[in-house]
């Protein structure tokens, strides 16, 4: 089945597979939408459906979609896999398709989001979009699931450096947004370039997209790797459809429901937040840049897509699970071909589990330390657990067994103080600084002789034959 | 309802900034000191300064001491 080019196409796929719940009765922006976003993860777990609300109080024709990525079933359907596909199968699919990168984009002319355009002072984001407060302690309504597109002003013709990122946007006024990014993010490099040239930074914000571009937008790619060309790879080689935003000239998804265009004010910093974040905690307030919106383009009867964030697991955890794990795997594997798999599904990789074969004694900790210095590891990878290649890092029972029996805190815990990390981790002190820890739970190898008198339990080769017998008996 | 004080920071820099496209369903208010925004149809804990949760309130000091991270 070819990949879908827009959100409506994917909602149809979800519906065909029993993964979409539609609500036609009118709901209140608050507290209904945020409450439903929380509840669907609690009730549905790994099989939770997406939600589509067709009537929002006070709006004529607004619609809101939630939890589009919010279960392993939805995630599998996004990849064109059977809904029941295991996490490991989905990891391997993304890893295999990664090899097709880069896939040139499919640049198209007219886009569906060009149906309606509102300009300048006629814009009122609160009235034209059904934005809402997601959690009680949030500063106000946020646009929390969009593709934010900017260029490097110092190298504006470099398509690879045109960034598509997922950043939270506080709706602060009729035409005003606040935007949050951290120091290692590509957006911050673009702000720095604009600041040096003393130019405003054009920005496009695409809302309500096909699911693959949101997966790519929230993937920690290298600075000059194009999210659009990665989306093509993850569409199994089918070029990603894009169009040109008329005011800014930025490249935006062809299939979006809503496209905003405007300018980032690189010199301004203004109080933003708090907002309930992917850490499962409210962020503190920060001084952050602002954006003025100059155009809103929408389809007729557009769908505002939003993302629920709360105490894990919620939709955000599914969205940034495997697209965090795969690039860390690729970057580690480039350095050490012994690395077999990476599970960085916990809070965007603040805890990362790596399985690897071992060259020699002490090798596990070498691999673990490397995970701290790859691009994503600089801001995340607070705790890295390294296990043998025989341990599946997605199987937490196996990982806990390795930690229980192969890890001696006196010898196998490495701590490095005063490291940078994403400021949103509430345990950091000062904000954005933490100690890192590598836990080497691989089996000691010579010349480290620990445990050599107590080898792992083996089983009779006949156990495999008995597996078949028992499976047949159970069938 | 047009609040005089921001429920979160208690500033008076508050104004109504939006009205529901379907008339008279809700209005949106915003504080230009701490940028808290609330809808008239939200519960009193979101719009009444006396009932706004203590753990989310902000002082003038909170606003001036917030870190710059980018």
Asked if A57 and B41 come within 8 Å (Cβ–Cβ), the reply is: yes
The pLDDT of residue A3 is above 80: yes
Q: Identify which of A127, A140, A191 has the shortest CB distance to residue B70.
A: A191
Contact between A50 and A67 (Cβ < 8 Å): yes
Residue A207: φ, ψ to 5°: -120, 140
Residue linked to tokens 């096909």 = A210
Mean pLDDT, chain A, rounded, equals 96
Residues of A with a catalytic annotation lie at 277
pLDDT tens digits, A168-185: 999 999 999 999 987 778
Q: What distance in Å separates the CA atoms of residue A408 and residue A368, rounded to the nearest whole number? A: 16
Q: How confident is the model at residue B47 (pLDDT cuts 50, 70, 90)?
A: very high
List the one residue out of B7, B31, B33, B4 whose CA is nearest residue B17: B31
Pair A286, A180: CB distance under 8 Å: yes
Average pLDDT over residues A143-162: 93
Residue A191 has pLDDT above 90, yes or no: no
> What is the rounded average pLDDT for all residues in chain B?
93
Q: If we measure between CA atoms, which residue out of B61, B52, B54 comes closest to residue B33?
A: B61
For chain B, the straight-line distance linking the first and the last C-alpha, in angstroms and rounded, comes to 37
Which chain B residues are closer than 8 Å to A116 by Cβ? none
Residue of A31, A63, A126 to mutate, testing the B interface (most B Cβ within 10 Å of its Cβ): A126
Q: How many CB pairs under 8 A join A and B?
A: 111
> pLDDT > 90: what percent of chain A?
90
| Across A331-348, average pLDDT | 96
- List Cβ neighbours of A67 (8 Å cut-off, separation of 6 or more): A37, A40, A41, A48, A49, A50, A51, A74, A308, A315
pTM score, whole prediction: 0.94
Per DSSP, which regions of A44-98 are E strands? Answer: 50-53, 63-66
Task: Note the pLDDT of residue A197.
Answer: 87
Cβ-in-10-Å burial (0-12, 13-18, 19+) of A460 comes to exposed
> Half-sphere exposure of residue A360, counting CA atoms within 13 Å on the CB side?
2
Say whether pLDDT at B3 is over 70.
no
Residues in chain B, overall count: 70
CB A210 within 8 A of CB A11: no
Q: How confident is the model at residue B23 (pLDDT cuts 50, 70, 90)?
A: very high
Q: What sign has the CA pseudo-torsion A82, A310, A214, B38?
A: positive
Chain B residues touching residue A178 (CB < 8 angstroms): 35
Query: Quick check: B26 and A58 CB within 8 A?
Result: yes
pLDDT of residue A284: 87
> What is the per-residue pLDDT for A200?
87
- The strand ranges marked E within A273-375 are 286-298, 303-306, 339-346, 351-356
Tell me, what's the pLDDT at A322? 97
The pLDDT score that the predictor gives to residue B69 is: 73
* Higher pLDDT, residue A303 or A181: A303
**Token pair of A332 as six digits:** 């580690």
Does A55 touch chain B if contact means CB atoms closer than 8 Å?
no
Return d(Cα A385, Cα A437) in angstroms, integer: 9
Could you list the beta-strand ranges (E) of A330-399. 339-346, 351-356, 383-388
Question: Nearest 5°: phi and psi at B37?
Answer: -130, 145
Q: Is A31 on the interface with B (CB under 8 A)?
A: yes
């Amino acid at each position: 089945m070819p990949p879908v080019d827009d959100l409506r196409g994917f909602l149809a796929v979800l519906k065909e597979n029993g993964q979409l719940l539609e609500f036609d009765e009118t709901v209140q922006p608050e507290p209904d939408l945020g409450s439903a976003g929380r509840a669907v993860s609690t009730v549905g777990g790994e099989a939770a459906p997406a939600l589509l609300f067709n009537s929002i109080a006070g709006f004529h024709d607004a619609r809101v979609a939630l939890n589009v990525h919010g279960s392993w079933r939805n995630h599998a359907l996004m990849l064109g896999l059977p809904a029941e596909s295991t996490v490991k199968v989905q990891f391997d699919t993304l890893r295999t398709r990664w090899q097709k990168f880069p896939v040139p984009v499919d640049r198209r002319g007219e886009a569906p989001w060009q149906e309606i355009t509102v300009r300048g002072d006629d814009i009122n984001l609160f009235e034209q979009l059904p934005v809402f407060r997601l959690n009680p302690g949030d500063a106000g309504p946020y646009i929390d699931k969009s593709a934010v597109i900017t260029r490097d002003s110092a190298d504006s013709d470099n398509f690879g450096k045109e960034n598509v990122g997922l950043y939270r946007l506080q709706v602060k006024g009729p035409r005003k947004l606040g935007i949050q990014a951290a120091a290692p993010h590509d957006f911050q490099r673009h702000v720095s370039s604009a600041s040096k040239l003393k130019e405003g930074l054009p920005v496009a914000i695409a809302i309500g997209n096909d699911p693959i571009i949101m997966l790519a937008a929230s993937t920690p790619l290298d600075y000059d790797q194009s999210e659009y060309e990665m989306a093509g790879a993850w569409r199994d080689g089918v070029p990603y459809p894009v169009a040109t935003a008329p005011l800014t000239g930025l490249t935006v998804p062809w299939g979006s429901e809503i496209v905003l265009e405007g300018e980032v004010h690189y010199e301004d910093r203004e109080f933003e937040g708090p907002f309930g974040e992917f850490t499962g905690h409210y962020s503190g307030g920060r001084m952050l840049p602002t954006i003025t919106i100059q155009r809103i383009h929408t389809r007729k009867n557009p769908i505002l897509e939003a993302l629920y964030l709360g105490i894990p697991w919620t939709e955000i955890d599914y969205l940034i699970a495997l697209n965090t794990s795969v690039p860390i795997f690729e970057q580690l594997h480039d350095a050490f071909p012994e690395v077999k798999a990476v599970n960085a599904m916990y809070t965007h990789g603040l805890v990362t589990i790596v399985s690897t074969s071992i060259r020699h004694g002490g090798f596990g900790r070498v691999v673990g330390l490397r995970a701290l210095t790859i691009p994503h590891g600089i801001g995340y990878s607070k705790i890295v657990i390294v296990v043998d290649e025989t341990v599946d890092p997605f199987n937490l029972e196996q990982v806990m067994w390795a930690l229980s029996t192969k890890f001696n805190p006196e010898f196998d815990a490495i701590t490095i103080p005063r490291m940078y990390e994403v400021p949103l981790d509430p345990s950091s002190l000062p904000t954005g600084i933490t100690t890192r820890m590598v836990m080497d739970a691989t089996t000691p190898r010579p010349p480290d002789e620990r445990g050599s008198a107590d080898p792992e339990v083996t089983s009779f080769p006949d156990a495999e034959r008995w597996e078949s017998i028992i499976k047949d008996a159970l069938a | 309802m047009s609040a005089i004080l921001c429920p979160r920071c208690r500033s008076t820099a508050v104004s109504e900034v939006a009205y529901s496209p379907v008339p008279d369903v809700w209005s949106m208010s915003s504080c230009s000191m701490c940028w808290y925004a609330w809808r008239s149809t939200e519960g009193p804990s979101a719009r009444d300064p006396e009932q706004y949760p203590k753990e989310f309130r902000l002082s003038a000091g909170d606003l001036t001491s917030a870190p710059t991270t980018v």
